[in-house]
Each structure stands twice: as structure tokens, then as C-alpha cells.
Structure 1
Amino acid sequence: MSFRMSVEGFKCFDHLELDLSGLTLFTGFNGAGKSSAIQTLLLVSQSLRIAPNGDRIDLDGPLLHLGTAHEVARSASQGRIAISFEEDGVQAMWSLTAERRVRYLKVEKARFSADGVALDTIGVAAPLGHAASALCEKVCGLTFLGASRLFSNTAWPSPPITTPFGDVGKSGEFAPYWHFQIADEEVPEERRQPGEERTTVRGQVDAYLSQLFPGAMANTDQLLGSDLIRLDLALGSSGWVRPGNIGFGLTYAFPLIVAMLAARPGQLVIVDSPEAHLHPRAQSELGKIVARFAAAGVRMLVETHSDHFLNGVRLAIKQGSLAPSQAAIYFFGGASQQDHGVQKLNIDDSGEIDRWPPGFFDQAESDLGQLLGLLG
């Protein structure tokens, strides 16, 4: 089931249209538009959380801080921006205007349609009862985990009441809360780590962490008389310690594992640079883990610069854990090319990719060729 997103006149894009699969990878050069494409989803999501009945898309909020309207409108667009999402014949589209230095985009028109029947309004959310309201709820309820993680504290906060279920926070700050809340819930079989006998979230978090870091475990508890959650981690024979006293790779991966286990069926989980701070073997294993959750019905959108993570996904496809039709790769090649250099690459059932444009994970071969030339 494909989820289509499109944007016009936003930042570096004149026009961009992408189909998100069960697992979609955004790869490519720095500054080529990967984060900007993701921000279109985040902008609408945070506005639906802040003021669903409002008539503007907020540029500053719980998910993003993008500044003022003139900073995000493409100069050639004359202040006109359009964002739309579509799934199963249902579409939500917002026509927006950027009014100089205000910190929002004004909604000039919102069009919500289903099966060709359109309803035009001025607002962010589709009216209750309209088919597009479920699509708006899906965008509102996404989880975004950014590249920066905050895990040196001893105690962790509870999320605001408006936070969607399972949203671990863009810095992972609510992951201990969700781990504590759902630790004893049963995990559906298709999401379980193969070979792990424990079927609860607590057991599965430990199993997936151990797949990345042998012997890793996590434990959470509520501090007496407060809403704060304590997180302790263990690695091998280290015993329980606070996150600041253990390898940062473990604390970096913990929120993503919790987010995927907590996600509702069909929920969109967006993660930036999941490979950071991980050993190459762990990066590859994480690619396999993310692929498993995508196959189990969690829609995953991953921005990555890791060939090891990519190869983990390719291995999952070759081993039959994820169907090729459930995966998509977009390579962002830069503004000098058509469609801002965004190309869709295809994977077959043996894990092979149909083409490798220049700059697509080819640096190791390039460097090795130069080294062999020097050695020769």
C-alpha cells in the first residue's frame, strides 16, 4: 500500500513527488533535499497537533524550527507552496502562501478528496467524518526520531498529553516513558525477534538490543512521587548503569527499538541517521531489524548515509524477510539535475539494486581503487 507525498515551491524543490513504501530509504549528498522532503510531513503533522482547526501551517513547533516563511519558500515560487498526501484514493492538499517574516504558512485553500469527490475548505484538518480525516490522523500521529539524541540524564519526562501514542520524541526523550508504560504488553508474532522466547515488549527490547550489542538489556521504573522515569542499561557483565555510563551506541539505538515496538499498525515512523554511533556490524543488523518491522506493517521512512544499513536491508530482502515491493530507495543527487536529482532505485528479490548513480555508496570502491593504484 503506497503513500504518495508531493510538494511544490518549498525550499529547494520546484516540484517533488514520491511514493513511500513499507520501508523507504532517503540517501544521497548532503544538502540535496532529503531532510527538506521529510520536513513537509513534519510541518503538517505538528500543525495538526498544535491547531487542527487552524488556517496555517506552523514553522516552529514540537517537531521543527524552520524560522520564517520567506526562508522556506523557493524564490521562483513567488511565495506559493503546495503540499499534498494521498493514500488509497484519498487525498489531502494544502495551497499555502509565505508572507514574508511570519513564522507560519497561511492556508489559502485545503482540498480533501475521496474517490474523485472533493471538498474545499480553509483549514489544516479534514472535517470529521470525511474520508481524508483518517489520512490527517495518520500524518498527525507519526513518530519522528531525529539525529540528535539526549541520553545523559538519570530521569526522563512523560510526554505532553497531545503526544501521539508511541511517539518517543524527536530526541528520544520519551522512549523510557513508553518502555515503562508498555513493558508487559504482548508483541505480535510478526514483530518478534526470531528465536526469542520472551513475548513482551520488555523481552523484545532486550532481544533486539542484544542483536546489536550482545548481552544488552534495558530497565525502566517510575520515580516515587513524580512523573519522571528512570532508565538503566546493562551490557554483558557490566551490571545496571545509568545511560551516561555506557556506550553511546546503545543509548542511541534504544529509542528506535521502543518506537518500532510501540507503533500502531500502519503508523509512520521517520528516523534520521539510525546508523550513527554504531559499529558496522550493528548498522547492518539494524537494517535487518528495520526491514522486519516494515514487513510487519510499520511504515518506515529512513534517512541514511550508511552502506552497511543499506546492505542489511538488502540481505533482509534476499533472505525473504521483506518483499522487494515493500522497499523503495530514493537517491538525492543535487539541484543540477532534473527533479532536483531525485532518482528512485529498485531492489530485486536477490537484494540487487538496478543501478548505481555516481555518488550512491560508491566511495569505498573509489578509495580502494586509488589505494590499489598507489600500491601498484
Structure 2
Amino acid sequence: MSLRITSIDFQHYKALKRFSIELERVNLLTGANNAGKSTVIGALRALAVALRTARARSADRVTVGGTRRLGYRINQRLLPISVENVATNYEDGESTVTFHLSNESELALYFDREEGCVLVADGPGSAVTTASAFRSRFPLELNVVPVLGAVEHKEMLLEEDTVNAALATPRASRHFRNYWYRRQDEFTKFADLVAATWPGMVIKPPELDFMSKELSMFVSEDRVDREIHWVGFGFQIWCQLLTHLTRAAPGSLVVVDEPEIYLHPDIQRKLLHVMKGLDAEIVLATHSAEILAEADPADVVIIDKNRRRAERLSDIGGVQRAVKVLGSQQNLVLASLARNRRLLFTQNPHDFLLLRRFARRLGYGELAAGTGLTSMSAGSLDRWERVRDMAEGVGVAAGSDLVVAAIWSREARPDAEIETILTAMRPSVGIAHVLRRWDLQAYLLVPSAWDRALQLELNKQRKAKPLGLDMEAILMEVTEDMREMVAEERATHRTRWLLESFGQAPDPRAPLETAPTSDDSFETSWRSPSERPALLPGARTMRRLNERILQLAGVTLSEARIVESMQPEEIAPDLCALLVELDKFRQIDV
């Protein structure tokens, strides 16, 4: 297992007088302006500089905390911060940032006006004195994306050592063509990633004018070639971001500070997917509501310098609260509509996020990023008649007619009611769809995927899997007492529908109309481990499953972890067909 940072403690360091943050695989740091996000990122940048120093020379005797210890004095000119103003409120005394590692070791940065910046390594085993011993004991890889800028108008060929020395500094933007000129064997993979994430743009490898020693690099857009300096600034920034991300080694920690500044909202969403696709840990500081809306709530960490600890969120409500902290305005929806002209109604905002997770698992990258779609909440299926009115009103506000799709949960409604609603909707709505299961979360009730997700979570937390844990058996056990509730809700909906439609109740001796299964018998379907999930309310069932595995294994599983653990063939055929429809809808000419 790769060495990783598990938590960071700050003492008397800038705005963080006493503060701690625990790190997981994905960490999206957010919070109000001046909350301390950049302070956390700055400490990681300082650690990256200190690691390069410790790997290059032997330890010295240094004074920290009033005692003499082995450590490394860091050249202050290389640090991304000024030691003079590190102390909280400019007070006297030592400031420290302690990085706790997964091998029970620690790396601590000490800041003192007299001593400067010092790195001290501590942990089990003998003292680390040589550069080789440090490299062996602390194989921690930090890939810190520097501040990015425009590429140079003219870029001359440079020595490789010069290019490498500037990779983690703001000078990296000035050497963009040189970087790829020296790594042409890796360029195809990079160019494919650019093409996949920025449709219509094809980047070509650098070319050298042997007479002038000047490098040029062309980008083709709609078969028109332009030198990269003359392409939009957002595209230049995106190419540089991808360049730094492709450098990330397996198991490394990738650190990025507010990359969204020059990026289109669609590209911001794609950035998170690209980063999560890396075999690396992620720390990303952001103000982007687009990125936060795309994230798994458990990945979002609120930084507030007035608290003692960072807060990791647990649900979608927490993400909405984080977006409010950022001061995001809802007129972003109208701006998105003006761009996309394709409006997708889902029962609630979370359904759109979960649909995109499934799309990503099936390889629909653009749909997974929400490209070309604007989502709004429609409420329950009882409000279906309002969808057309809402679409017309939003269309007027956006200044154009829109194409509209709508997706609702079935809950316990009978087929006849659903077909009547869909028949009324189809003339005016591009896609009118009611799920064949109770709700979208019901498509997550795949025991084999839960079993794999549980093993991954236990591995991450270095726990052993309890013997005999069978997710299919647990699913059947925790839902057995839900049978009467499910049957009663189905009967209630059927009775209401018949009364509304025909003015009479059904014959109580008639069998219950079943949810969509291959068998007309509710009892037979309920007894079947493969068919019961199609009858269950997914959100409620997931809560029960997580409560039980928390008791048995000490962990809970997020929706994102479950979807990532599903095999494509485990995603229900009707949901796969819906995603195909949505991907076509996303590309409709309007």
C-alpha cells in the first residue's frame, strides 16, 4: 500500500491557530473567502519543497521546540510562503504543521523567525540520517499543480534539466511546449485525453524549427490549425492542468488550488471526473458550485478557521449548505439554459447526480459530466401537469424554446396510471419516463456490488472483512419486515387510481397488481433474492443496509462507492436503455 497523509494538524500557523483536517482519497476543500483553504494548500506546497530537500542531502542538527534534533533546514527562497508572517496574528513563537502518515510516522514543518523553516521526520524505527534512508522510509509523492498562466508567445528549446526544475513552479507555463517536446512518447495519451474532454479540439505534438531553435505547437479546431498561443486562454489552462495530472504517479497526492477560475462550467465538472480517475489521492481547493454539485458528499470538506476541525460532509443537504456558504446564485441555472436549450426534469436534484454516476460507469463521459443538459427539480409524479408550464416559463426567461425531458420515480403506482400519464406527456415532452423500480436508489440494490464495495472500504480502512458476511442474505434479512408496507402502498395506490378513473374500488379478492417483475405473483417475487430489489423503496432500504453493515463491519457505503463497484452488466437493462435515450437527447439540435 502506498504511503499517504491521513491527517494534518496546524498549530499557530497563519489563520489556523489550532486546526486539524483528516484526509481521505478525495478531498474537496471549500468554504467562505479567507476561511483557510489556501492556507492548507500552501502548507502542502511547503511540504513538497521540504521533501525535495530531504531526499537530496543528509539530516543536520536543528533546534525545534527548544531541543536539538535531526532535521532539514529548508531554503526559504524555495518556499511558497514567507516565514516572517507564518505565525498567527504575527505573534511570537513557533508555528508547526504536522503531517500524520499511514505508516504511523510523522513529518513536521517548524517555522521560526530565527531558525527559518525546518523539516523533522519522526516515527518507528531507527533515526533517519541519510538521503537514501529518507527516500526509503518516506516514499511520499506529492504532485502539486503550480499557479498556471498563459503559454509563452515564443518558446525556445531548453535543456531538459531546466524544464524539470520548473515543473512545480509558476515558470511551468512558460515551458509547456518544451515539456511535451521532451516527452513525445507520452504525448498520444495526453492528446487523447484533451480530445475526450474538450470536444472538437485536437492538439498536435510540438515542432522544432532547427534553424531558430523555436518550438511551436498547433491545435486543430474544425480542421483549422492555430498555434496554441492564439487559442483561448481557458483551453490553454485546461491543457496545462491535464499535463500536470498525467504526471501523477500511482498512489501519489495531487494538490490543486482553485483550478476553476478560467474554466467553463462543463469543463469544471469534467475536471473532477479526470482527477477521480487517477490512481492517486486528491486535495482540491475550490469555490466552484459546479464541482461541488458533481461531488460525492463524503468528498467535500468545509474549512472554517474559526473551528478546531475541518468538517467532512455526509449527505447532499450538506453540499447544498456548502454552496450557500460560497454565495452561489441560482441564476446560474438560467445561464445554463441559455447555453444548452435542453432541460431535464428529475424528481429531485440528487436523482440527476445519481443518473450521471451510472452514466459514467457505462462509459457515457459527456452525459456523466452533464454536458449539454440543464437540470431542474420536478417534484413527485403527482405534479406532472406542472412540468409543461414550468418548461414554458423557464423558456421565456431563457429567451428561447426548449426541448424537455422528465424522469420520475415509480414508487408504488400501478402500470395503468403510469401509462396514462406518459401518454398525456409525450406530445409535448421529448422524453417522458417513469422508472420501472420504486426509485433510482433501488437500482443500487445489487448484493454483489455491495459485497465488492464493502471489501474496498474495509481495505481502505485496513480492516479485515468479517467472516461469513453475505450481502444478499443481509438484504433479504433487513427488508423482510417491509413486505406489509410495500403491499399496502401498492394496494392503496391501485385503489386510489381506480376510484379516480372509474369511480369504484377494486374487488378486494383480486390479486395485487405487481411491480415490474417477470412474475405476476407478488409473493413469488418477494421471496426471490433476485426479484425483491425491484419491489423495494431504494433509499429506505439503503439506510437499513448501511445501519446493519455499520454494526457488523464498522463502515458505511456511499452511493458513489456502490456504483463504482458495479459491473456494467449488473446495471438493470431498463436503466441502461434510459441512459442511452438521455445521451441522444443531450445531443439533439435545438
SS for the counterpart of 1:363 is: coil
The TM-score, its normalising length taken from structure 1, stands at: 0.70
The corresponding residue for 1:234 is: 220
1:176 is the counterpart of 2:158: no
Native 8 Å contact 2:41 2:257 kept in 1: no
Q: What's the secondary structure of 2:260's corresponding residue?
A: coil
2:321, 2:177 → 1: CA distance? 41
Alpha carbons 2:73, 2:116 under 8 Å: kept? yes
The verdict on how the C-alpha distance between 1:222 and 1:23 changes in structure 2, with shifts beyond 3 A counting, is farther
Residues in 2 aligned to 1:155 and 1:290: alpha-carbon distance in whole angstroms: 29
Shift of 1:259: 1.8
Amino acid at match of 1:275: E
How far apart are the structure 2 equivalents of 1:226 and 1:7?
Answer: 51
Residues 327-346 of structure 1: pairs in structure 2 closer than 5 A: 328-333=299-304, 335=305, 337-339=306-308, 342-346=310-314
Structure 1 residue 251: deviation in Å?
0.5
Amino acid aligned to 2:302: F
Distance 1:118 1:75 in 2: 38
In 2: Cα distance, 1:52 partner to 1:227 partner: 36
Structure with more strand by fraction: 1
Query: Is the CA contact (8 Å cut-off) linking 2:250 and 2:280 kept in structure 1?
Result: yes
* Unaligned stretches of 5+ residues in structure 1: 185-200, 315-323
Q: Equivalent pairs: percent with the same residue?
A: 17
Pair 236,214 (structure 1): closer, same or farther in 2 beyond 3 Å: farther
Match of 2:75 in 1: 58
Q: State the distance in 2 between where 1:202 and 1:95 align.
A: 37
Pairing of 1:274-285 with structure 2 (within 5 A): 274-285=259-270
| Correspondence 1:30 to 2:12 | no
Mapped to 2, the partners of 1:220 and 1:312 lie a distance apart of 34
Distance 1:181 1:268, change over 3 A: farther
> How do residues 1-376 of structure 1 correspond to structure 2 at under 5 angstroms?
3=5, 4-50=7-53, 52-53=57-58, 55-61=72-78, 64=80, 66-67=81-82, 69-75=83-89, 78-94=92-108, 96-99=110-113, 105-107=116-118, 110-114=120-124, 117=125, 119=127, 127-128=130-131, 130=133, 133-134=135-136, 136-138=138-140, 141-155=141-155, 157-158=158-159, 160=161, 163=164, 167=167, 169-170=169-170, 172-173=172-173, 174-184=175-185, 201-218=186-203, 219-224=205-210, 229-239=215-225, 241-293=226-278, 297-314=279-296, 328-333=299-304, 335=305, 337-339=306-308, 342-346=310-314, 352=316, 354=318, 356-357=320-321, 359-361=324-326, 363-365=328-330
Return the alpha-carbon distance in structure 1 between the equivalents of residues 94 and 39 of structure 2.
16
Closer, same or farther in 2 for the Cα pair 1:167/1:41, shift >3 Å? same
Map Cα deviations across residues 135-190 of structure 1 (whole Å, 9 max, x no partner).
6552xx533223431313232655546947x9464454244333333332xxxxxx
SS in 2 for 1:202: helix
CA distance in structure 2 between the partners assigned to 1:155 and 1:71 by the alignment: 36
CA distance in 1: counterparts of 2:162 and 2:231, whole angstroms: 31
Number of matched pairs: 314
Q: Residues 158, 22 of structure 1: CA spacing in aligned structure 2 closer, same or farther, 3 A cutoff?
A: farther
Give the Cα–Cα distance (whole angstroms) in 2 for the partners of residues 367 and 252 of structure 1: 23
Amino acid at match of 1:105: G
Structure 1: distance between partners of 2:211 and 2:136: 38
Q: Which has the higher helix share?
A: 2
Letter aligned with residue 84 of structure 1? T
Opposite residue 26 of structure 2, the aligned amino acid is: L
RMSD across aligned C-alpha pairs, in angstroms? 3.6
Alpha carbons of structure 1 residues 154 and 235: separation in structure 2 relative to 1, 3 Å:
farther
Structure 2: state its 5+ residue gaps: 61-71, 334-392, 398-590
**In structure 2, what is the Cα distance between the partners aligned to 1:360 and 1:278?**
21
* 3-state DSSP of counterpart to 2:188: helix
Shift of the 280–262 alpha-carbon distance from structure 1 to 2, 3 Å rule, reads same
1:287 to partner: Cα distance: 1.9
Shift of 1:253: 0.7
Larger Rg: 2
1:328–1:133 distance in 2 versus 1, CA, 3 Å:
farther
CA gap 1:261/1:328 in 2 versus in 1, 3 angstroms: same
CA distance in 2, matches of 1:238, 1:118: 62
Deviation for aligned residue 1:246: 0.8
Matches of 1:57 and 1:110, distance apart in 2: 11
Question: What stretches of structure 1 move > 6 A for 4+ residues in a row?
Answer: 225-228
The TM-score, its normalising length taken from structure 2, stands at 0.47
> Is the contact between residue 180 and residue 220 of structure 1 (CA under 8 Å) also seen in structure 2?
yes
Mean Cα deviation higher: 202-211 or 264-273: 202-211
CA–CA distance in structure 1, aligned partners of residues 33 and 193 of structure 2: 30
